[in-house]
Amino acid sequence: MPVFAALADTTRLRLLRRLSAEGPLSITRLSEGTGVTRQAITRHLYALGDVGLVRRARKGREQIWDLNAKRLGIARRYLDQVAAQWDVAAARLKALVEGPEAG
């Protein structure tokens, strides 16, 4: 699954937001108040793990999950960069059409 598709699911997005706001959390904590089963939350975490957005670690006997911030940053910066390229191109288009038209 491509990384952006992994981000397109609301449950997965919610998981990422919580990990981002609260730091590493156990599956138990991540399931609380979601109305989604632990099994489903686990599946979503593995989907996010497969594209490198989250990482699994162990704390005592409990499994905890954490954001892989580096990976998230790549996906985001790439889009920012493409957007910046369009900014530059659009400014050149503007300069062209607002100036005199060459024969």
Partner 1 sequence: MTAKTRASRAGASTDRIEKRVVLRAPRARVWRAISDATQFATWFHVKLDGAFVEGIVTRGQTTEKGYEHLKIEMQVQRIEPERYFAYRWHPYPIDPKVDYSNEPTTLVEFTLEEAAEGGGTAVTIVESGFDRIPLARRAEAYRMNDGGWSGQIKNLERYVA
Instruction: Return residues touching partner 1 (CB under 8 A).
Output: 2-5, 7-8, 10, 13, 51-52, 71, 74-98, 101
CB 69, min distance to partner 1, A: 14
Handedness of CA 17, 21, 22, 24 (dihedral sign): positive
Task: Sort strands 25-26 and 62-67 into parallel, antiparallel or unpaired.
Answer: antiparallel
Beta carbon nearer to partner 1, 42 or 68 = 68
Least separation in angstroms between residue 61's CB and partner 1 is: 33
Q: In whole angstroms, how close is the CB of 93 to partner 1 at the nearest point?
A: 5
CA-CA-CA-CA torsion sign (69, 71, 77, 79): negative
